[in-house]
Amino acid sequence: MTTTTEQVPSSSEEQKPSTARYADRIVLTTYPGQSVVDPIPLTWGAQSPAERGPVLVSRNRNTISRRNAIGAHGGSYAIYNALAVVAGDLPPDFRPDFLNTQPTFDFPTQPAWLDPTKIVAMDPFGHDIVKHYGKYLEQGIDVRPTIAITRASMRVSEISEAVQSGRLPVDGAIVHSEQGDVRVTKVAVEPVWYLPGVAARFGVDEGLLRRALFEHTGGGYPELVTRTDLKVFLPPIGGLTVYIFGPPERVSDEKVKLALRIHDECNGSDVFQSDICTCRPYLAFGIEEAIKEAQNGGSGVVIYFRKEGRALGEVVKYLVYNSRKRGGDTADKYFQRTENVAGVKDMRFQALMPDILHWLGVKKIDRMLSMSNMKHDAIVEQGIPILERVPIPEEMIPADSRVEIDAKIHAGYFTTGDAVTEEDLKNVKGRGWECWEDTTGRFSDPSGKRLFLFA
């Protein structure tokens, strides 16, 4: 009988850098003209994909010297990629097989794709790198897509209710079942920033933008300041998803109507239906109106941006909730509570948002399903007219979210209702924590009877 014993490496061996995974020498940064760099030319705004060149950020052996951009694919998910490598689940030099991954709809090239001032926050050719940059893939260069286009069937409870109540008909093409199943074309987009264009959009110096990005990512991207010849950056942030109802070719057709909802992520409301804000109701309303427009022969689009908590994040958002509820949740202090915790009331900065509209070929918006003055102004400033603005219906506003919506209306949000004065705001108060936790640490019922006092 033969037995074998697996050799378990010592702790010192386990922690030793693996030359099989990475090169012996760690390259912290590079500099223009250095012998170890030979970037493939990348000309933003060139008149064809071939002239523009691929976006390359990979540090794989065959690509690291040819990189022409800064950052990493996948945004914040790049960290999970690193964990998969260190855990041994993913080879560090893995390259995807793109067989059958091509888009389900071939969006026609738009003039904005070739204009370095119109699209600065995404790669207009990032959806079909096999077609545009196949020769580089054949050479072993690690080109990756930053856009994917697919089809799906979706079911949203509010849409199912709209079908059952008769507000939405089952047409067999868009709404294709009595349960409210809806056909949709989806486009996922990772951010790709052309730094001179981003700086111009914000009206700042490119050098200052690079320095700020370097400093406030913990110095994680030194080539922002050492490689000023590299003009493209893939930031470690979330992207966006486009949901198109009806034939995708209608989106860029000026002869048909377009209903559009631009929505910024709110996990608590969108997914778990918290009633402290209007996010889920407005999203559901936007989807329903987009479907109606598509069923009427037009086009409906909902664009979902990953900008949780006004791009402040959920931790900050929850801290603000605590501050609001413990300090008397009135509409006149709504933005002040956020500024006290975050320093600003909003970090979504809609200046880059219209890029996806240019990529889709949107030339006018017939019905804008949004009350946001920032979204409206950013779109109009990019030369896309908005013919009608549609606020959320009053009956869809949760009672506890009046604090939010009235504060926003007073701050400039569009409404077809009455103006909201400063004095009005003082009288708009959110629901307290009477049935949960009050500021003295007591649990009580609405009558005020103390149920429990904790230490």
**Average pLDDT over every residue of 213-226:** 97
CA distance 244 to 292: 12
Tokens 């949004």 sit on residue: 370
pTM of the model: 0.91
User: Active site residue: 264, 346, 355, 406, which one?
Assistant: 346
C-alpha closest to that of 145 among 111, 179, 95, 205:
95
Q: Does 380 have pLDDT greater than 60?
A: yes
CA distance 215 to 198: 17
In the chain, where the domains are located? 23-141+192-234
Q: Encode pLDDT of 19-32 as tens digits.
A: 567 777 888 899 99
Q: Encode pLDDT of 2-16 as tens digits.
A: 333 344 444 444 444
Token pair recorded at residue 148: 């994917």
pLDDT at 20: 62
Q: Encode pLDDT of 131-178 as tens digits.
A: 999 999 999 999 999 999 999 999 999 999 999 999 999 999 999 999
pLDDT at 194: 98
Any catalytic annotation for residue 348? yes
CA distance 280 to 394: 14
- C-alpha torsion sign, points 371, 373, 375, 379: positive
pLDDT band at residue 61 under the 50/70/90 scheme:
confident
User: Active site residue: 210, 348, 367, 389, which one?
Assistant: 348
**Average pLDDT over every residue of 251-279:** 97
